[in-house]
């Protein structure tokens, strides 16, 4: 994005292209191993990129989009750009950044790996710049001495930069502001516990882990001034899909008179989606709920319902913070005005 600068916080790169266009490959932090181990996954073929997205080795809407863009380059190296792009689009259904990035790669109208790599690198760099801009636009939400609640991981691990929901936290922290972050653990896959708590702790930000069912009490105790989460897809009326449990927080926040914000880049908006009811919600395996990190938690054959995302209606969202500015109040006109 011309004129935008990005911040290097000396974190390990969530996503990296290694080598040249002809024979290079995609390197990802394997997020299934965190926080126990910081390990990298080298994806040399399209199948391994698809599986990395599917099993959440790389996850978070913007990071999925950037990874798929690089996956398209790997497909082009093998002479299968078109089929590879279509295949990558089947990895996960909800985060619109996946389809946005693949459409952008296809829109170049070439299968030349060198040109595709340039575009993937541009998507990567723009995502980092969008995170920085979200940080600047949302920093005012973090008050000196205040408490912030977040859900899942919309952090550096979910993007190519400083995250979306975490962007104002990193920006305020860099500016010397003191505040506390409460991170929901985020069952079933514990992105809040494993990833958000890890990355904020690494950055020296004061983070406290809570179980998902503690949010109401923590709000009533006056510990939370603001809730900020990311989004996987935002419909044109402002309804926002994000990790299952986000809707709970928005309802609780309204009850307690606490503002609830979504932080997301414009690549997360889907203007073709009239409302949240039109957003496809990923259903995942029962084993994710029946077990925790491989350990049984329930009878093996118990019936399970495991939607990975829920939709927060626009009327519960105080504002949506994008890299271009703030959508407040959240209405279809305001979304169209900001996103196009």
As measured in angstroms, the least distance from the Cβ of 9 to ligand MRU is 16
Stretch that binds ligand MRU, among 105-113, 158-166, 249-257, 327-335 (CB under 6 A): 158-166
Verify binding: residue 242, ligand MRU, rule CB under 6 A. Answer: yes
CB of 127 to ligand MRU, least distance (A): 9
Name which of 171, 161, 162 is nearest 141 in CA terms: 171
CB atoms within 10 A of CB 38: 13
Q: Is 191 in the site for ligand MRU (CB under 6 A)?
A: yes
Task: Name the helix (H) or strand (E) containing 136.
Answer: helix 113-138
Beta-strand pair 226-229/260-263: parallel
**In the structure encoding, which two tokens stand for residue 287, read together?**
């084993």
User: Is there binding between residue 323 and ligand MRU (CB under 6 A)?
Assistant: no
Task: Name the minimum Å distance from CB 165 to ligand MRU.
Answer: 7
Residues 236 and 293 sit within 8 Å (Cβ to Cβ): no
Residue 62 binds ligand MRU, judged by CB under 6 A: yes
Of 46 and 311, which CB lies nearer to ligand MRU in the complex structure?
311
User: Is 232 a catalytic site residue?
Assistant: yes
Q: What is the DSSP string of 1-21?
A: -TT-------PPPSEEEES-T
Q: Which residue of this chain has its Cβ atom nearest to ligand MRU in the complex?
A: 230
Task: Give min distance, CB of 62 to ligand MRU, in A.
Answer: 5
User: Contact with ligand MRU (CB under 6 A): which of 77, 164, 171, 267?
Assistant: 164
For residue 60 the two structure tokens come to 């978070």
**Taking every pair of C-alpha atoms in the chain, what is the biggest distance, in angstroms?**
59
Q: In the complex with ligand MRU, which residue's Cβ is closer, 137 or 164?
A: 164
Among 148, 228, 308, 327, interactor with ligand MRU by CB under 6 A? 308
Residue 262 DSSP label: E
Phi, psi angle pair for 282, to nearest 5°: -65, 130
Tokens of 264: 């997301």
Q: Which is nearer to ligand MRU, 43 or 117 (CB)?
A: 43
Active-site positions? 232
């Amino acid at each position: 994005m011309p004129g935008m600068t990005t911040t290097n916080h000396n974190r390990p790169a969530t996503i990296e292209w290694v080598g040249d266009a002809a024979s290079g490959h995609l390197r990802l932090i394997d997020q299934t191993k965190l926080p126990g181990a910081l390990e990298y996954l080298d994806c040399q073929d399209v199948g391994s990129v698809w599986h990395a997205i599917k099993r959440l080795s790389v996850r978070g809407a913007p990071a999925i989009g950037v990874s798929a863009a690089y996956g398209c380059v790997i497909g082009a190296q093998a002479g299968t750009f078109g089929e590879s792009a279509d295949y990558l689009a089947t990895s996960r259904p909800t985060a619109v950044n996946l389809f946005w990035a693949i459409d952008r790669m296809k829109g170049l109208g070439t299968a030349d790996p060198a040109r595709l790599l340039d575009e993937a690198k541009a998507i990567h760099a723009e995502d980092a710049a969008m995170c920085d801009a979200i940080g600047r636009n949302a920093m005012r939400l973090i008050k000196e001495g205040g408490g912030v609640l977040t859900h899942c991981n919309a952090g550096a691990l979910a993007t190519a930069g400083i995250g979306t929901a975490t962007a104002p936290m990193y920006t305020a922290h860099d500016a010397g502001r003191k505040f506390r972050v409460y991170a929901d653990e985020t069952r079933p896959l514990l992105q809040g516990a494993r990833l958000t708590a890890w990355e904020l702790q690494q950055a020296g930000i004061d983070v406290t882990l809570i179980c998902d069912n503690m949010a109401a009490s923590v709000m009533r105790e006056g510990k939370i001034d603001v809730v900020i989460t990311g989004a996987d897809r935002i419909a044109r009326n402002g309804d926002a899909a994000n990790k299952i449990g986000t809707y709970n927080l928005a309802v609780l926040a309204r009850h307690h008179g606490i503002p609830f914000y979504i932080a997301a880049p414009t690549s997360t908006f889907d203007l073709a989606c009239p409302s949240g009811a039109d957003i496809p919600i990923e259903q995942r395996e029962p084993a994710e709920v029946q077990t925790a990190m491989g350990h049984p938690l329930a009878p093996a054959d118990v019936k399970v319902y495991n939607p990975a995302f829920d939709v927060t209606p626009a009327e519960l969202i105080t504002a949506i913070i994008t890299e271009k500015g703030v959508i407040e109040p959240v209405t279809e006109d305001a979304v169209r005005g900001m996103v196009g």
